[in-house]
A and B are shown apart, each in its own frame.
Chain A
Amino acid sequence: MWTLIQIELYKIFRRPRTYIAFIAVAALITIIQFGLKLDGKSYTDFLMKDIGGTMEIDGNILNGYLICYIMLQLLLVHVPLLVALIAADMISGEANMGTLRLLISKPFSRTELLLAKFFASTVYTLLLLVWLAILALFLSLWIFGTGDMFLMKSSYVVLLSENDVFWRYVGAFVFAALAMVTVAALGFFLSIFAENSIGPIVATMSVIVFFTILSTLNIPIFNALKPYLFTTHMISWKEFFDIQVNDANEAIVGSIQNPQKIVNSALVLVLHIIGFVGGSIWIFNKKDVLS
């Protein structure tokens, strides 16, 4: 099994297109950092317009922690496309090249083959997130410095103490990894139905775009659907950055406002991963492979 995973990883990382994702993430992050470094004050002034009427805020608001949060909000919507580029190609790519039939004639089961391919695409996804974390968090901390995290939500603001932020990012990245592996599992599932890569990649993105729009639309008729859409749960990483307050309205350091929501969302995502991968194995084991 380990050999199979190594072979699949070798296949992924010898293709130039694998590195498109890493380059795209690096380009996006550095351009945002560059823009905020040059003109971050205008950005924060714009955000502070409302709160500035009541409070005076002193200190380095635009520090590495806030920059990373801003980037995660923007990028975690687009990273699924980069994940789909590889995951949705895992089976369909072999079918397209005509190597799938040859591959399943080797002395290991179809289940082992699929699991190895899925683990390999998971490794790719996790590496992409590690790359994202290095650039968005550590590079931002190096460029913009560290400090308390001042987060503006739509109806309230959260001030997190400097020593209460890093563990939240660890949690958020672990959660984001789960969300991206769910995307990988979806792409992987769709890839068993096609004999070229374009179809499953576009289909994966279409599903995500469609579900994301339904998740974000605040129309009552769609609200009932939201809990059942995995895209609704993919953004629960933000919950790590909301803090509980006690009766005296003091924020409780080390707390999360709604930990149950994180657990529930994580469970929903895990169930989706199991469903997509299990479904892939079940269908592929019954499939007549002709290419």
Chain B
Amino acid sequence: MADTRGGVHGAKSPAGQPAAEPGGVVGQQPPSPAPLAPGTAAGWVPRLAGIAAGAARQRESGIILAGIIIFIIFSITSGGQFDTASTWGTIVGSAAELGIVTVGVAMLMVGGDFDLSVGANFAFSALVMAIMTQHGYPVLAGLVVAAAIGAGIGLLNAFATLYFDIPSFVATLGTWLLWSGITLVVAGGATITVFSSSAVLRVLGGPLFGQFSFEGVWWLVIAIVIGVVLHRTVFGNWVFAVGGRRQAAYEAGVRVARTRTLNFVVCGLLAALAGAVTLGHLSSMAESYGTYYQLYAIAAAVVGGCALYGGRGSIFGAVIGSVILSMLDTGLILSGVSTYWYQAVVGIIVVLAVAMHTRVGRLIRGGGE
């Protein structure tokens, strides 16, 4: 696809131009403090300082700091219950359920699109999987069907958005209502419980050790895979370009429609996988389990530094954002605060996070790769 016609190496150069230094910098400006700059002084002190400076320039640095502060606060207010392994098992587990959804939503947002149907997708595909299991189909078959449904819902979102050329926010607002309606038709408001000792279910969301479940493992794997895809592949580069400036991306030869479509499909697939993992953990599923997931996923992505208008964000940030939301949930309970406050606190955190990202972004724009 990417056709450079070998020109990159054969660039015609007028005589007398100085060759580039391998340093990472052209011209008069001093080198950036990025950790990549080689040859800057030997010794580990300046190198560490360089790495620290580079890290501070990253968009996510502020939110990591905020996460640490939240952690410290809850450690104090919970009377020693917060910073324990079993609490963190719970936090990671619930962060994973939201986090797997958020990974897809974040990549989609970087590409300049939204998916409000992920919550309905999550519940519907997992309910189909639960019902299939109830009827004696192998869990693996249910998982494959759920994944196909999730990807299919994503494909439908892409079609609705691209074919009608409407904002994905509106298109997926429609498909959200469509799929949650269908879910209610299929399962009613009932909770469907799966009685199965299937190894597949256990590996999806069963206990790993202590309070830790397999959910966190899948989340980690998915986050790493999608992180590499978004930040280190041509597709990911195209996602950033499409979200940053669609017209420029198109003119540069980026297959815009294909990129957006694949992004919707991945987002839908991940929502379904999150549903499957949750089913594996709870052995039950209901329409209500996915309610507001789309909004919390967007909140987590935004807290982690995804720009609402596309073009900026990271999977790492999305992971941190999910952890922060999950910390709030568990931390409030352990601090004796009513869970009803959760929503309110998330609301405040979202606004503060966006304000911070905007300001920090202005200060450090150019923070590089």
* B is a partner of A: no
**Chain B residues within CB distance 8 Å of chain A:** none
